[in-house]
Structure 1
Amino acid sequence: MKTVLLTSTSYRHRYIGRCLQKHTDLKLVVTEAKSSRISETNSLTEEEALFQKQHFQNREEAEIEFFGQEELPSEILQLKLPHGEINSELTLEVLKDISPDYILLFGTSIIQKKLLDTFPNQFINLHLGLSPWYKGSATNLFPLIDGRPEFVGATFHLATTMVDAGAILHQFRPELKKDMGLHEIGNAVIEQAGEIFPKVLDKYNTGKIIPQKQKDSGIICRIKDLNIDKLRKAYKNFEKGMLVDYLNNKSLIDRDYPIISNL
């Protein structure tokens, strides 16, 4: 099964690439640089800037602890692009040359129609979050800001021009523990997603998964909507026992929001 991964540049993205390299014939990894962080530092107070810096430092350290700093295997062809260039003519031409069976997405800008039409039903997105309830960016952070850990998880779906709206192949919620923190939860989802992505792909390729259309509506999350106050709220929710309350009533809460599981 010949694959291409379109992704970004963090440790988490390299981890997914290594998982796919082990279990598929991964021919190319296209990396797109990330956009700016949640707030411009010069618009923050000194205390807010320190809080934001600490948040991202903790996130990076947690990613290194989970995924290591290992690079992608040197034998894999790589194409590095600036932010916003994932839909470039260069990308299209390289994909045509490789002619992969599947093009896998994790952490890129929205894929445009010209690419999707060239490879119909071949783009599969790993979305960190549970569609249709949370779509867009930082969709395992916004539920924690909202005090809704039941919406933390991942969704594998066919890519469309609409944000995280494609037919679903598989979803999961992570195994949470009461002492987990914000970064540990996010990385646990990614770790599990990397392990099962090849399995989802194999079952879809062999016709054992029939994509299911998304029916309910949700919210679109955007990085520009994040700010220091919202980020603080996520941490405060943990301090107030959000995760403990959820785990004590997990089965009842999850029942109201069933997910699509095909593994």
Structure 2
Amino acid sequence: MIKVVLLTGSHPRHFYVANQLIGLGCVVGHVVEQREAFMPQPPNGLEEQDRLNFMRHFADRDQAEHVFFAGNDMINQTVPTLKVSMQSLNGQQTMDWIQSLHADLLISYGVHKLSEHLLAAGPRDAWNIHGGLSPWYRGNTTLFWPFYMLKPNWAGMTIHQLTSKLDAGDIVHHSVPALEYGDGLHDVACKAVIQVAADLKKIVTTFELSEITYKKQKSAGKLYVSSDWQPQHLRVVYQLFNNDIVDHYLDGKLPKTEPSLINIFDKSFS
């Protein structure tokens, strides 16, 4: 089995993926970056409708993650663990520690950008789990934008090679969850995490690294930066649609365009 060193954030979704992989017995070390508070405060100066939408959005996210990732507020302590801050993530101690593990594969999820020096200190093969379908949704808040664009079936995850360019590495696999009536934005986001964890477990137990076929991202897509998202965007999800965009999609009330997904288990992609 492939020996993996994990680098993840500290939110429940990150720990869920980590614990799923650790349970396989393939993880030889886990670097945990302490991330920001999960429940942000609304910015000053918002109109009342936007303040309420902001509070609803992040309260719903917190509730959804506690439901879907119950029991994953802690990491499995059966593997060596190094806890770091954003400032020390790419530090010498982290590089030395990763190098000492002699892993076959580095997998990152929910950490800040990794330096080229750190990547050089780790195994030759390095993957990132991106919360969004690349290349169409790269960067930040990329599980939100498909809903804003009224394309909930474009909400998913991408496993790709780590490169110096954000979310631009060659793709290993796309993961998308099944949409069901009653799913809100955060339900789909959580189900996407569960799906990518299941797919990743299957990948590392099915393939040798030499068997992995990578696919280049054929278009630049869209790189969303933090400043692209504003609380006012929430009006579309919560006031115009009351968070029932999935129901509208399943009822055929929204266009059903499909992304061209890369599936490592589909032999036609070999």
Shorter-chain TM-score above 0.5: yes
Please give the residue correspondences for 1:101-250 in structure 2 after superposition, counting only pairs within 5 Å: 101-119=104-122, 121-236=124-239, 238-239=241-242, 242-248=245-251
Q: CA deviation at 1:84?
A: 4.4
Q: CA deviation at 1:209?
A: 2.7
Q: Which residue of 2 aligns with 1:17?
A: 18
Following the alignment from structure 1 to structure 2, what is the Cα–Cα distance between the partners of residues 72 and 192? 19
Please give the residue correspondences for 1:84-95 in structure 2 after superposition, counting only pairs within 5 Å: 84-95=87-98
Please give the residue correspondences for 1:23-34 in structure 2 after superposition, counting only pairs within 5 Å: 23-34=24-35
Q: Secondary structure at the match of 1:115?
A: helix
Q: Secondary structure at the match of 1:23?
A: coil
Q: Secondary structure at the match of 2:173?
A: strand
Please give the residue correspondences for 1:36-47 in structure 2 after superposition, counting only pairs within 5 Å: 41-45=42-46, 47=48
Equivalent residue in structure 1 for 2:257, among 253, 257, 263: 253
From the superposition, tell whether residues 260 and 236 of structure 1 become closer, same or farther in structure 2 (CA, over 3 Å). farther
From the superposition, tell whether residues 158 and 138 of structure 1 become closer, same or farther in structure 2 (CA, over 3 Å). same
Q: Detail structure 1 runs of 4+ shifted over 4 Å in the superposition.
A: 35-40, 248-252
Equivalent residue in structure 2 for 1:58, among 50, 57, 60: 60
Structure 1 residues 188-238: Cα deviation after superposition (integer angstroms, max 9, x where no partner): 101111112122234452544311111112111223322210123233454
The residue type equivalent to 2:157 in the other structure is A
Q: CA deviation at 1:37?
A: 7.5
Residue pair 2:185, 2:243 contacting (<8 A) in 1 also: no
From the superposition, tell whether residues 109 and 240 of structure 1 become closer, same or farther in structure 2 (CA, over 3 Å). closer
The residue type equivalent to 1:78 in the other structure is T
- Give unpaired runs (5+ residues) of structure 2: 266-270
When normalised by structure 1's length, the TM-score is 0.88
CA RMSD of aligned residues (A): 2.6
- Give unpaired runs (5+ residues) of structure 1: none
Following the alignment from structure 1 to structure 2, what is the Cα–Cα distance between the partners of residues 6 and 101? 14
Identity between Structure 1 and Structure 2 (%) = 27
